[in-house]
Structures are given as C-alpha cells and as structure tokens.
Amino acid sequence: MADLQKCREAIDCIDNEIVRLFEERMEIVKEVGNYKVKTGKQVYDKERELEKLNTLKDLAGNDFNQHGIYELFTQIMSMSRKLQYGLMDGKTENSPFLSLEELPITKDSKVVFFGEAASFSQQAMEEYFKEDIKSFHGTTFKEVMEIVREGKADYGILPIENTSTGGITDIYDLLYEYDNYIVGQHILKIDQALLGLEGATIEGLKKVYSHPQGLLQCSKFLDQYDYIKRIESKSTAASALKIVEDNDLTKGAIASVKAAKRYGLKVLKENINFNTANSTRFIVITNRQIFLKNANKISICFELPHKIGTLYNMLSHFIYNNLNLTKIESRPILERSFEYRFFVDVEGNLNDPGVQNALYGIREEGSKFKILGNYLA
C-alpha cells in the first residue's frame, strides 16, 4: 500500500517543477511577443497552435491523459496569447471611436422614440434628455434604427431589457445589423395599467391589446381572466390608441396611466404587472462612433467557432485584464443552425489599457466582432 504522505511530497515536487517550467516558458513567450510587436506579426496563429496541440496530445500514453494534455496546453496557449496582447499596449490600430466630454445635444437635436405618444419610450426619452429637444416617434424597433442610421434623427431611444421578462431579443439583432452605437442608457420604472373606454369594466372585456412585453409583464393578472383574449400590438401606447379608434367597450389595453390621460381612457386597474420592481432599461443610440470620457460600460458582440471551450477562452480575456462582465446574451445565427452570436456587457472605458487588450484579444480570436457602444451606466 502506497504511503500517502510520500505520494503528496512527490506531487509537491512535481508541482514545484511545473511552476518553474511554466515561468520559464512565459519568459520565452514574452520574447516571442516582442518579436511579433516589432514585425507586426499577428499574435494568434490558429494553424500553428492546432498543430502543436495535436503533437503534444499524441505524446500522452492513454486516452484520458491525451484529453488532459490537450485541455492543459489549450489553457497555457490561451494565457500565452493574453501575455502577448498585453505587450501591444497601444501598438494596435487606432480606435475609430471619438471620446467627448459630453454628448452634443441642443434644442435643435432630433430624437426618435419607439411607440406612439405617451409610450414608455417617450417617458424614458424625456427623463434622459431633459433639454427642449425636437422629438418624434417610430412605430417599430426597426424603423427607429433606420431613422437614426440615415441621419434623420440625431439620437434614438429603445427598450433593451426588462427586470421581469429579460432581454428584448429583437433589439440585440438590430444592434448587430445596423451601424448605430449606444451612447447612453436610462432605467425607467414601469407600472402597467389596464385601460378601457368610459363605461367599460374588466368583467365585460373580451380582448386586451398590448405590446408583447406588456402582455408578458402582466401575464399573472391576465391569467385570472382566461376569457379575455390577448392580442399583440406594436406598442403599449399604440394599443391604447387602437381601443379609442375602435370605440368598443369589450376591448381593453395594457399601457401607462399617462397613456390613459393622453387618449381619454379609463383606468380599470393600476399596477397589474406581477413584479412590483418592474423596470426597463432603455438605450440611447446614434449613428456616430462617439463615447463620453467618463463612460463606464461597454457593449460588444462576436461569434465563435462551434467548439469546446471557445466561449470560456473568449471570456477569460476579461478575467486576465481585471474587467467585470455584467451581462451575456446569446442570439441564434440564422444561417447556421444551433450556433449563436454573443452579446456582452463589461465595465470599462475604451481608453483603458486593460479594455484595449481584452478587446484586441477577442477581435483576434473571434469573428464578426463589433463594439456596440461605450456609455455611462
């Protein structure tokens, strides 16, 4: 029977040697990195690494060890790349993003919000901008994106995330599709209300209209009235406008109390959302690549090879640069079944060296990388 203490001592000796060899290896990696900096050679050589991994794997004596060696050296090579990215330190290409002291907003600035008048997006816009701006609405998320991209508005405001229902997936897809950039965010407390015409009652309703998010946020309330049909509309405010136009006592809408006042509707029930802390995060977008000097949140997206460990390796760039990842969302890539595009929020500023190193590594190792914006959270 083996002596446990002797086995542990033997392992300690081996581990100490591994540490010594690792540090020796990283010193050589640093020399290689300096050479790449001077010659402009790319840090990530995919074919070289794959060849090396397979060679090392074949040196192991059994399947278990082969798998272990492959995983071990995958991580060692990943750490080596991160060390070399750090050596770049400003030697990468200049960012196209312009840093500003404040956003250019004047009384002549045009802002497009999602939904009809008295929508939650309009409320968020009014709270964020405060200034006397020129505003108008777009009826769909895509229309808002197109208006901003074409320069018909200086800024747009859209909902991206709700505390009850999560991310608004259409917005993520549009951020990837359009060359618009996030320059700000605003969190708005959302209190949904059931609205109807004067003389309407909850018991007399047969249909209720709202944006899909509104219906979801109030699903538990609506479950009590299974005879009421739920019908999706373009926005909460649009649903309020519809029941006014239809002039039907059997139709209700889920929208804000502000919408009820705007369209002359009766509030049948206030605060019907199931989450009392129900809030929506709105983003402010522009077609210019700008960010505030005191911005502290970055949104990016990228795609990865559909292989084991690629997401872990990509996210580890944030760990090695001491950056805090605050959110990750995935969306399907339509042309590739069951493969996904990743959207990530991380704390930081585009001028920070750690941020630059992390983003450089992700750009090198991923594909279709895009900075969606740097803004003040």
Active-site amino acid positions = 280, 282
SS3 375: strand
Beta pairing partners, 370: 301
Find where tokens 């608004």 sit.
Answer: 168
Who contacts 80 (Cβ-Cβ below 8 Å, separation ≥6)? 25, 26, 29
Beta pairing partners, 373: 182, 299
272 neighbors 221 (Cβ within 8 angstroms):
yes
Look up residue 210 and give its two tokens.
């709202």
| Nearest by Cα to 354 from 325, 322, 311 | 322
Beta pairing partners, 158: 283
What are the DSSP calls for 150-194, one per residue? TTSSSEEEEEEEETTTEE-HHHHHHHHHS--EEEEEEEEE---EE
Whole-angstrom distance, CA of residue 377 vs CA of residue 324: 13
What are the DSSP calls for 286-346, one per residue? ESS-EEETT--EEEEEEE--SSTTHHHHHHHHHHHTT--EEEEEEEE-TTSTT-EEEEEEE
| Nearest by Cα to 357 from 91, 152, 116 | 91
Residue 357: burial class (beta carbons within 10 Å; 0-12, 13-18, 19+): buried
Look up residue 115 and give its two tokens.
């939904």
SS3 81: helix
